[in-house]
Chain A
Amino acid sequence: MLKYIFKRFLWMILTIWIIVTLTFFLMHAIPGDPLDVADVGSSDAASANLAAYYNLDQSLPMQYVTYLKNVATFDFGPSMTSRSRTVNDMLESGFPASLQLGLATLFFSVISGVALGVFAALRHNRMIDYVTMILAVIGISIPNFIQSMLFINYIAVNIEFFPIARWGTYRHVILPAIALASGPMAIIARLTRSNMLEVLTQDYIRTAKAKGLSARKIVVKHALRNALLPVVTIMGALTAAVLTGSFVVERIFAIPGIGQYFVSSISNRDYPMIMATTVIYSSILVVMMFIVDILYGFIDPRIKLHAKED
C-alpha cells in the first residue's frame, strides 16, 4: 500500500512537471510581451531593468530552468501587475476564500446530487423522478455565471439574509456555492440515478430481499455503495470543473479568491501569476485524482491498489 502511494506520488510530480512545462512554453508562444507597454513610453534603460527584474532578459531555456527552480521551492516571484506584491502574497490572501467556496460547493453538490439521484431511482418513472431530472437538465444547461446574476438580481436584492456580494460570513458562501454546485449536482444526480436503476436489478439485490432485509437497508447497504463507484470516478474531473468555474463566479460575487487574479493575469500577460495559478489548480486536480483512486479500493474490494497479495 505504501509502495503504491509512493509510486503514485512520483507520477503526480511528473504530471505536474509536464503541465508546468507546457504552460510555460505555451505562455511564451503568445505574441507580445508583458513589458511591451508602448503607450506609457518608458525609457530603454527602464525597460532593460524591468526585464532583468523579471528574468526576461535571459534566453527562454534559461528562464525555464530558473522558473523550475523557483516552482520547486514554491517561490513564484513578483507579480507583474501589482508590482509591490509577490505572487505568493497574493495567493496567500486569496486562497482561503477560494478553498472555502470550493469545498462548500463540492459538499453541497455531492450530498444533494446523490440524494436526488437515489430518490429519483427509487421512484422511477414517477413524479419525483421527472421533477428531479428536469431540475438536473436546468442545472446543467444554465451556466453558473448566469445563475449567479439571477441569484443576485432576484434573491440577494430581495432577501436581506443573503449579501449581494463580497466575502466574510457563512451567509456570503451560500449563493455562490449554489450557483457553482448546480451543474455538478445535476451531473451527479443523473449518474447516481442511472447507476441505482441498474444496480437495483442485480441478482444480489434480490438475494438481500430474500433475506428479509428492509427496503431502506437494501438501498443504503447493498445498492448505494455499488452505485457510487462511477460517481467517485467523475469526482476528480468535477472538482476541476468547480474550481475553474469559480473564476467567473468569484468575479461576479466580488469574492477575494485567486480566481480574480487568474482571469486578469491572462489578459495582463502576468507570467508569474499565470504559472502560479496553473500549478496550484493542476496540483489540486492531480491530488483529487489520487484520492479518488484510493477511495476506489475502499468502495470496491475487487479493485486492488497494490500488487497481488495472497
Chain B
Amino acid sequence: MSGTLLEINDLAVSFSTQGGEVQAVRGVSFAVGPGETVAIVGESGCGKSVTAQSIMRLIPEPPGRIKHGSIHLHGKDLASLTEKQMRNVRGKQIGMIFQDPMTSLNPTLTVGDQLTEGILTHEKMSQREANKEAIELLHLVGIANPDERLKQYPHQFSGGMRQRLMIAMALMCKPELLIADEPTTALDVTIQAQIIDLFKEIQEKTGVAIIIITHDLGVVAQIADRINVMYAGEIVEYGTVKEIFYQPEHPYTRGLLTSVPRLDGDRSQPLIPIVGTPPDLFAPPVGCAFTSRCKYAMKVCQAHDPEVTELSEQHYTKCWLQDDRVEKPY
C-alpha cells in the first residue's frame, strides 16, 4: 500500500503464565495510512487491546512477549527498538487513549501537570509555553475555562470530561497516530456520541490517523474508514466500512452484525447471538478457531487453518467458505 504510516506484519504476542503460554495475538497484519481511521473490533479477549498495546510496546514484559512479526512506523521497526528509543515514540509520534478515564489519570497530580509533562519531556519548552499548548488543546476538546481547570485535580472532572482530558493529553505532542483503546466503553451513551464526534472533529482539524479498538459496532460505523474483525488473536475479516456492514463474508462478522439491533429492520425479529465461547488460547485449535461456534462449519475447518482470500482490493477474509469447491450456504 502506498503512503503507509503504520504497517503491522504477522504480529504474534504471547504471555507466559503458570498454566502455560497464552497466545493472545496470533499473526496479525494490517496497515494504517496517514489521516485514516482503522477500527479493530471483536469480543472480549480476542486480542484487540493486546495488539494496540504492542504497537506502543506497553504490554508488560515479562510475562508478555512479542514472539514474531514487525511493527513499522514510517519504515522503522518499533518491535526492535530499545526501551529508550521507544520512549521517543510514545507520546510524541503515537498518542494513546485508554478505556477507563476514571482510573487513567493520576489522582494526586493537577490536570495541568499531567497534560504538560509529556511535551516537556519530548520538547525543549518552558512550563509557560507548555501550559499555553495545553489551554489550546483543552479548547479543542471542548473544556470550558481551560486556564482555571489546569489547576484542578482529576476528581473535579466528570467521566466524559476526563476522557476529553485524556484525548487532549494524547494530542499534546501532535502525534501522527492516535490509538484509542475502547475510548467509549466506560462512558454512558450520550457521552459516547459526544466523544465520537470529538474524534471526528479532531481528525478533521489535525489530520491525525486513528486506530480505534472497540467491541461496539455502532461506534465503528460512525467513525471508521476500514475495519479489522478480530477473533481469537487473528484478523478474520478486513474491509472498508461499507464492505463489512453490507457484504460481510466471514460467519463471525455476520454473527456480530445479526447480534446488534437495527433501526431499519423488523423489530419483532429476535436478535441472534453467537452461541458458544471463544477457544482457549492456551491451546488454540489446529484449524479455524471459529469452527466450534460456526453454523456452517465443515470437516476441513477443524483440520486445516484457512488461507486468506482476497475478495476485493480492500476486502480480505480468512474462511474455508471462500474456497471455490464450496457452495456458499448464504
Contacts and interface: CB of A to CB of B under 8 A. Distances in A.
Interface of A: 202-204, 206-215, 217, 221-222, 225-226, 299-302
Among A215, A221, A301, which residue has the most Cβ atoms of chain B within 10 A?
A: A301
Interface string B79-108: 000010001111110011010100111111
Interface string B47-69: 00000000010100000000000
Contact of A210 (B96, B103, B122): B96
Interface in B149-166: 153, 155, 166
Contacts of B229: none
Given A206-B58, A302-B155, A211 B104 contact: no
A226 B98 contact: no
A227 B105 CA distance: 15
B300 to A, nearest CB: 42
B103 A302 contact: no
B108 A212 contact: no
A301 B118 contact: no
Interface of B: 56, 58, 83, 87-92, 95-96, 98, 100, 103-109, 114, 117-118, 121-122, 153, 155, 166, 169-170
A302 B91 CA distance: 27
B100 A212 contact: no
B108 A211 contact: no
Contacts of B89: 212
Given A212-B90, A213-B121, A301 B153 contact: yes
7 contacts: A206-B104, A207-B106, A207-B114, A212-B122, A213-B87, A299-B108, A301-B155
B121 A207 contact: no
Contacts of B87: 212-214
The A contact surface, by secondary structure, is helix
A210 B121 CA distance: 12
A202 B109 CA distance: 15
Given A206-B104, A207-B98, A212 B153 contact: no
Contacts of B103: 202-204
Nearest to B87: A212
Given A202-B103, A207-B114, 11 more contacts: A204-B105, A206-B58, A207-B96, A207-B166, A208-B106, A208-B117, A209-B90, A212-B90, A215-B83, A300-B107, A302-B155
Contacts of B100: 203
Contacts, number: 77
Contacts of B107: 204, 226, 300-302
Contact of B90 (A204, A210, A301): A210
Contact of A212 (B105, B109, B118, B166): B118
Nearest to A300: B108
Cβ-closest 7 pairs across A and B: A212-B91, A211-B118, A212-B90, A211-B91, A203-B103, A210-B96, A204-B106
A226 B108 contact: yes
A221 B109 CA distance: 9
A227 to B, nearest CB: 11
Contacts of B95: 210
A211 B90 contact: yes
Contacts of A203: 98, 100, 103-104
A222 B91 contact: no
B58 A211 contact: no
Nearest to A298: B108
B181 to A, nearest CB: 10
A210 to B, nearest CB: 4
B105 A207 contact: yes
A212 B98 contact: no
A181 B98 CA distance: 43
Contacts of A206: 58, 98, 104
B104 A207 contact: yes
A203 B58 CA distance: 12
Contacts of A302: 107, 153, 155
B152 to A, nearest CB: 9
Nearest to B57: A209
B121 A222 contact: no
